[in-house]
Structure 1
């Protein structure tokens, strides 16, 4: 174990971070776990003790039936991974809570950014990947049209906007052998063909209380949402009653029923009975758009690879080979480095070689292929835009209504074709799944970075308003849209969520709104913070926005506003 003072310093940095700012429970749980370990009481780190000491449970608490400790520990792991993918990327000492245990582990990291690849959590920061590794970002790739690069950046963020960070179990034998032997899937003797691709995804059922109009209205919205997600297999069944047949660990059930004056939704693992999510919706008086947004918020946290369904499968060890490959792919986009890229690529590549007819396999291979070109990874040996485009075409041909396939095609075209063509595919991906708020946010951001503020801003506003939690780059993008539309009050509301961040472009956004609204004292403080940070933005705003691929009119207006607020930068 490293020295206790170093562990405490690492702990203090984490709990004071932006990632943990909105999660008091996660902060309390992490403090408790680490302090108990440092005090020599690691043996006390059990579900029962944590439930009593951290979450105020009484002596009747049963961690086998009350999942609060497991759920909060899972969220803590998510937040730690998110922290180390962004604010804590340079931390020399890292704290981890391994799956299946509450005893912390401590890892010493190489703090050279070039040794770990680039880890960013917002599109504007992506432009400075090369700079953090000691070379200008502009030198990493040939110059391309502004809109094309912006679309590529935003689509890359769309691919990485998930929150799935569970550690996977050690590598099993070659996937081709595993599929035939059934060693990585709960089903015996499966063959990797199109006939089983749906079986290899989590299945979701709905059971509703019949005869209640509000329950049926919620269930209808839930059905429309679930069918739009490529990452789950929605099975339509009779409205009520019991479901026949054995249940697998990859089967999940939404129960929808009346609860007082509200509609209660509960997501269960059908094999274990574990409740993954429970929520009440006050539907009386709400219109259809409001209800759809409530369901979109719920499903965005449930159905993607970053959601609670895949997290439950990882924790229980019930992943099929396809689920495992998708999880590896997700992990790469949250911590981009050559090793993570190769693990995801080889996993999906083996499935493609077995001719598994899943559009997810080919869509993600297409995107990973482009990542190999952009980041100059050594695997595959000779990546080409043509091969990436072929993967994307197969995905679209296999599933013409797949949001993932269209998203992937848009990403590939952002590197190989016109900005308009790339955005056309990205828009189609958004339209095919209006219940995925992450996809909506990325499309709105893409439109804003293409200079289309009137269309992009309302789409991003809907995502921000509907999501119960979201990354800060959504708020920053919303600020840009409102700022360019001249709505300073709305721009100020957007940047209010950025107050705990020390990122230069976030401080600049707050500075501009404070100055424009006549908040002199606040503007003076923010100007000093920006100048003391010694960032590229403070030294040379024009270069910062040019490297960030901002639209020309947005860059000019932003720079002028910063000059007016007192930031001179380079002359």
Structure 2
């Protein structure tokens, strides 16, 4: 969204509101439509200072006068859904005019004039054709990697070329970003005669200096739109006296892997740039932003995010059947529906079957997508195909060895089968590479320390997960506290697990077996839980709701 100098009139604002509310492209609930109308009406009436969580809850959502925003997060949750619905609406509607935005951290709307979005690939002499809009999956960050310059020892003059190619190869493994090399005929700043010019968002440039004792590289990334350098890093590695070519190649690979992780991982440079540009770029980063929404869910496993995200991804693959990453992310959501007992019966009778189908289709569309194989591995695991799942994860790791998430997933699955020699190094390396990734994989380290008789260490790993809304985390906490002899705390943790997932009681062994936990681990956990409350390990005749 790009603001113009003049302020919109009330007539223009009401017309923009009516256009949004009347459009079938504005996919949200009826109460969020009331939410939007309320905040716009209050703003136009000069009462923007009254647009607070309490007034929204009581005026729009029918909450009683004793509503406490600190205890009830309904307004915050619905505001996030409304923001996403508006964002998706303006991603689809490229006609310009006045737009409405609810900024993060506030509920007072902003009104901004929109520019008609031109095609990202344009011929300077030709007007863009709205009908030639690219499919959703082709919208994402576009990076040109230029040939690195070399200085220093002329006997090693190919080092810069080796590093350039290694960086391109490492970045290309992250299939949701678009990487172009210096040889691309569309790469130069000026359009090639008779050809369209490709819109590049970022340029990656570098200098390599080789001496008898060291290899030094400086890598920089700048934003093409304004020439601003957004990232720079120096690397220095020691060389032996012989400047062994294998050693140099290995160092180039190491540096390239680091560059790829810094730029392409979740919360990396490209991720933060896309989030920052979301309000302006609209369609330009549309496909990439879908994946960011998934990452936000995957990190927190917040159940409130699940259904809006599922609907959004279903709509995305309907709009763009070739959107590989959306198929894979949707597959992982359906696996989680089975894994955490999320009711999707209104749209899917067999969530694990749907998960496997989506993942396999993603692989058919893009056999080099590590995310697609990751999704298939999760579905296979909960279908009881543990060996196939580990093999599939190995394929994913081969496709993208720079992904800490795949390392963590592999480590977690090995831990559940008590393969500690494989599990522990993978998990530790994954969190060294990306300490901010989803805490769910730390459950593997909990299992390791718990099985090895270190309940205090196990408890520390659970606290780092930071997912108090997951019953299984509370259950594991109760088991560790029980072994430590802290029975009162263990009972409170177990009561919370029961509140979060009532059907676990009496079906604990079956639930842990569904998760493909090793029988010895199941025995250790059920014994610890049974010593607190035997009813949890006593079989009952009712269905299991996954925790």
Q: Out of 160, 181, 200, which is 2:139 matched to?
A: 200
8 A contact 2:440–2:465 mirrored in 1:
no
Match of 1:349 in 2: 318
Post-superposition Cα deviations, 1:333-390, rounded to whole Å, max 9, x if no partner, equal 55534333212211221112xxxx4433543455556667874447757777666655
Structure 1: gaps spanning 5 or more residues: 1-41, 44-89, 95-105, 111-115, 117-164, 517-522
Match of 2:410 in 1: 443
Match of 1:360 in 2: 325
In 1: Cα distance, 2:189 partner to 2:334 partner: 43
**Residue 502 to residue 398, structure 1, CA distance change in 2 (3 Å):** closer
Indicate yes or no: 2:139 matched with 1:225.
no
In 1: Cα distance, 2:466 partner to 2:365 partner: 45
Q: CA shift at 1:399, angstroms?
A: 1.9
In 1: Cα distance, 2:84 partner to 2:487 partner: 40
In 1: Cα distance, 2:319 partner to 2:394 partner: 30
3-state SS in 1 of match to 2:320? helix
Indicate yes or no: 2:223 matched with 1:265.
no
In 1: Cα distance, 2:326 partner to 2:523 partner: 42
Post-superposition Cα deviations, 1:174-220, rounded to whole Å, max 9, x if no partner, equal 58999xx9858645437679x87775332222233324678667655
**Residue 463 to residue 406, structure 1, CA distance change in 2 (3 Å):** same
Q: CA shift at 1:293, angstroms?
A: 6.2
Q: TM-score, normalised by structure 1?
A: 0.54
In 2: Cα distance, 1:481 partner to 1:532 partner: 24
Q: CA shift at 1:228, angstroms?
A: 0.7
8 A contact 2:360–2:376 mirrored in 1:
yes
3-state SS in 2 of match to 1:245? coil
Q: Decide which moves more: 302-311 or 272-281.
A: 302-311
Match of 1:495 in 2: 461
In 2: Cα distance, 1:307 partner to 1:257 partner: 25
Q: CA shift at 1:225, angstroms?
A: 1.9
In 2: Cα distance, 1:198 partner to 1:91 partner: 39
**Residue 534 to residue 492, structure 1, CA distance change in 2 (3 Å):** closer
Aligned length: 400
Q: CA shift at 1:438, angstroms?
A: 1.5
Indicate yes or no: 2:280 matched with 1:316.
yes
8 A contact 2:145–2:205 mirrored in 1:
yes
Please tell me whether Structure 1 or Structure 2 has the larger radius of gyration of its CA atoms. 2
8 A contact 1:292–1:435 mirrored in 2:
no
Q: Out of 448, 469, 474, which is 2:436 matched to?
A: 469
Q: CA shift at 1:444, angstroms?
A: 1.7
Indicate yes or no: 2:173 matched with 1:255.
no
8 A contact 1:201–1:231 mirrored in 2:
yes
3-state SS in 2 of match to 1:317? helix
Q: CA shift at 1:448, angstroms?
A: 1.9
In 1: Cα distance, 2:323 partner to 2:94 partner: 16
Match of 1:81 in 2: none
Post-superposition Cα deviations, 1:506-537, rounded to whole Å, max 9, x if no partner, equal 68878988999xxxxxx56x665434445366
Match of 2:265 in 1: 301
In 2: Cα distance, 1:379 partner to 1:192 partner: 36
Post-superposition Cα deviations, 1:70-104, rounded to whole Å, max 9, x if no partner, equal xxxxxxxxxxxxxxxxxxxx96455xxxxxxxxxx
Indicate yes or no: 2:420 matched with 1:453.
yes
Q: Decide which moves more: 316-325 or 377-386.
A: 377-386
3-state SS in 2 of match to 1:445? helix
Indicate yes or no: 2:181 matched with 1:236.
yes
8 A contact 1:448–1:457 mirrored in 2:
yes
8 A contact 1:403–1:433 mirrored in 2:
yes
Q: Which has the higher contact order (CA 8 A, sep 6+)?
A: 1
Match of 2:392 in 1: 425
RMSD between aligned alpha carbons? 5.3
8 A contact 1:231–1:304 mirrored in 2:
no
Indicate yes or no: 2:308 matched with 1:339.
yes
Q: Out of 82, 87, 90, which is 1:169 matched to?
A: 87
Match of 2:45 in 1: none
Match of 1:210 in 2: 150
**Residue 307 to residue 480, structure 1, CA distance change in 2 (3 Å):** farther
Match of 1:107 in 2: 75
Q: CA shift at 1:441, angstroms?
A: 0.9
Alignment of 1:9-28 (within 5 A): none
8 A contact 1:472–1:498 mirrored in 2:
yes
Alignment of 1:117-156 (within 5 A): none
Q: CA shift at 1:329, angstroms?
A: 4.8
Q: TM-score, normalised by structure 2?
A: 0.56
